[in-house]
Structure formats: structure tokens, C-alpha cells
Amino acid sequence: MSLLSAQRVVVIDVETTGFDPASDVLLEVAVVALEGEDICESWATLVRPSRAIPLGATAVHGIDTVMVAEAPEPKRVAADLRRRCGTSMLAFHHARFDLAFLAPLLRDAGEPPLWNPVIDTLGLARGLPGFSGHSLPELAARLRLPRERAHRALGDARTTARLLVQLATRWEERRGVASLAELAALSQDALRLPARREAAGEDGGGGRDIPDRATLRLDLFGSPAEGGNAMQTTAAVPEIGQMAPEFRLKGPGGQFFTLTEYRGRKNVVLAFFPLAFSPVCSHQLPALEKQMSRFRNLDAEVLGISVDSHFANDAFAKHLGLSFPLLSDFEREASAAYGVLVADKGHSGRALFAVDRQGRIVHRDVSPAPGDPAQIPDHEKVLRALESLR
């Protein structure tokens, strides 16, 4: 049984007048549904734009002003798209581009955002060896996928679907990936990590082989033999008695969470962890979950925080069966404010903070070695700190 046999995946592609969602507009949307490894549904529609189509854009995809004159209005397209996506896992090739145009389409039509988990085939390709180019045409040629009409939404969506089948199989066989949720998280990791390496001068820009998250731990945290397992941050950890830094982070379903909303009502435990689906985090968070009844008895809310996207965190929480929310510090501002950002690696360290109802820090426990299972912050200590507030 393959990874893709577990659930339906909806693959999406768009065509636009250009690359800037602030000044360019959507022209075409296509949806291809995968059940197992087979395409079971295809849908595409032009979108009536609010402005004329530049000749340069028409030269790329062939869509001109005459073709879209009688196309459906954006509101109708948005409703059709949202219905076809449902709650399915989504897949894109370079998801950030497509979602940047789909978000305003849905928002302006009054439709719910696409908060579904996302697999990015661009990330999956970058995370595997053997690909010198990562554009959709280059990958299709390299893997000898059936030729489709390039630079039209339906053709590119069908190609992306076939590409996903090939790449998911490789990740499953070579990396031991066990679920689509893990595949989604890894695809986003693989997009972020080469960018950090290139900025640090560690990579020539061609990307590197991204291993599974068990091995990724050594890549991100450093090998103990090299002394890289010790956390090195660039900011001070707030002192006990100080006001806890405020944050506004996306949690389940893209809902925003702030620390202020708990002021005067609840104590709060902040559990920073480096990466969703990594092995030590997969132990740390279930251990917290086992103590949830004790935290609730002490009138404390537990919030997990990592630099993963809220899509990855949602999938990770579901995978682990967590009852407390995981928040996305995607811009790394909260990790920096609490002094736990490992700046050269781009992820947070592992830490527990307890914040009382007045918003003051009453306990802090920052692991000096985030990759060491023996140095997970002590839950009993934070529970004792909360008990002292009674």
C-alpha cells in the first residue's frame, strides 16, 4: 500500500498575468484529484479578470482577453474551488506562488481560506538527490512523465499529480516516510533548509539531499561529535518575574492565538520545540499530553510553538493525538523574543515557560542541547511552579 492510498489528494495549479499578487490577477484555475495513484477527477476554468491581459503573459500561456471575456466571475470560481478542495490534502508545485493568488480570490468571494495541509512537490524534489533542475518541465522530462500542455493550469496540474506519485514513492522507499502528513511537513522543510544554507554560504545554491527527520536532526542540530548539539542563540532568555513577551501566532486551522487573550483568566505553559515530525519532538509532546489533566487542574493552558507552518503543526498534532494547540512561529519572532531561536539553524530550541495570569514568567527551563532526548525540559518542575501559584 502506497502513501497516496491513504487519502484523497487535490492537486491545484493556476495561471496568472504575472508574478506579483499585488498587481497581477488570476486567469485560470485547475484541480486534479488523486485517489491512490490514479487521477480520478479533473476540472479547470478560466477566470474573468478585472483588467486586460498583457501581451507578454499571453505569450507564455496563450490566454488572451477574448478567451476570458465570457469566463465565470471570480466569486463563482472561488465557490467551485472551495467545494472541490473540501478538507482534502492539497498539493502544488511551488505552493507559495499559487496560494498567494488563491487567497484573495477566496477572501473577496467570502469563502473560507484554504487551511488544508499542503504538500509541495518543489520541496519534495529539492529534498532528493539526482535532480539538477526543479522546475515542473525539468522534473517531468527527468522522470519521463507523459507530456501535457505546459503553462496551462490543467496540463500543469496533471503533471504535478504524476510528479507527486513518483516523488512520494521515492520518499517512502528511500526515507521511510510513513504518512502524507509527514510528507507535507518534510516538503516544507526541504524548501526552507537550502535557502538557509545558501544564505550562510554552505551550499552552492543547488540544494542538497534532505534526509528523513531522524537524520535531519543531525543536519539541523549538529552532530554531538562536532560539538554542534549545544544550542547557541543570539538573544537573552527572559528572567523569572519579567513580563512574558507577547506574540500573535497561527494555530489550528490558521486561527490566531495571542498571549494577551489568557491574561487574567489562565496560566499558560509555552512548550517550544524545534521541528514537527522529528524524533525527539515526537517524544516530548506526547509526554506533555500525558500530563494534560494535571495542567488543567492547575488552570493552565498548554501551547506548543515551533517554526513549522500551521499546516505542518496541524498534521503533527493529529498524528500524535494532541489535545493542546501547536502554534506556528513561522517568522521566528516569538522564538527570538524568548531567547530560544537557534539563529544559524533557523529553528527554535527546546524550552518550557510558565506564565501566570498576570502575564509574568514564573518558570523557565531551556534545554542546552535540543537534540538530546535526555535533556527534554522537566514537566514536573513546571507543574510545581504552577502549584506554587495556588
Query: Catalytic residue numbers?
Result: 281
Instruction: Find all residues with CB under 8 Å of 86, minimum gap 6, and list them.
Output: 10
The 3-state DSSP class for residue 224 equals helix
C-alpha cell at 179: 504518512
Which alpha helices (DSSP H) does the chain contain, by range?
55-61, 74-85, 95-108, 121-126, 136-142, 153-175, 180-199, 213-221, 281-289, 292-297, 310-320, 333-337, 379-387
C-alpha cell at 17: 498575468
Look at the block and give the residue holding cell 532568555.
237
Give the β-pairing of 267-272 and 300-306.
parallel
* CA neighbours closer than 13 Å in the CB half-sphere of residue 331: 7
Contact 322, 330 (CB under 8 A): no
Q: How far apart (Å, rounded) are the C-alpha atoms in residues 286 and 320?
A: 7
Which of 83, 315, 84 minimizes the C-alpha distance to 186? 315
Number of DSSP helices (H) and strands (E) in the chain, helices first:
13, 14
Look at the block and give the residue holding cell 496540463.
155
Q: How far apart (Å, rounded) are the C-alpha atoms in residues 85 and 363?
A: 43
Which residues are bridge partners to 12 per DSSP? 31
Contact 374, 356 (CB under 8 A): no
Contact 60, 151 (CB under 8 A): yes
Q: How far apart (Å, rounded) are the C-alpha atoms in residues 361 and 236?
A: 14
Which of 287, 274, 276 minimizes the C-alpha distance to 311? 276
